[in-house]
Structure 1
Amino acid sequence: MKSNPRAGAGSTDESKPVSETAADRRKRRAVFLRELAEARELRARVQPRRTKERRLREAMRMRTFRI
């Protein structure tokens, strides 16, 4: 796993970079979303039945809110 340089820094304002650009934020968000997708794919391979049930529940929920 990759280490987080800010891990353990606490919730002080000093742990945030002073001039974080939109590009930096987009890069961090892209990494986060990529890792989230990898975790979901792994879960789908390890627990296929639960994944199928979750997908069916989500589809039912989406059908419920459609007009």
Structure 2
Amino acid sequence: MEEAIGALNPHVRFVNLDDHGYSVVELTPSEARWEWHAISDRRDPDASSRLLAARRVRSGSARVLPV
């Protein structure tokens, strides 16, 4: 399904339908940055997390870049 979503929409840069987690967005005058984190167990309040992907867009650009 993830590959199909990317194939149908060339603007999609990251898809993860398997893991539960959260995103962190940081906006500064020079760039916008996103990080996607997956958690080890959504039922455990002490669950660990891992970084799945990070992307950024520099000010004045429309190009999404990996971090």
Is the shorter-chain TM-score for this pair beyond 0.5, marking a shared fold? no
Question: How does the TM-score come out when normalised to structure 2?
Answer: 0.21
Question: Looking at both structures, which has the greater relative contact order when contacts are Cα pairs under 8 Å and sequence separation is at least 6?
Answer: 2
Which has the larger Rg?
1
Q: Which has the higher strand share?
A: 2
Q: Which has the higher helix share?
A: 1
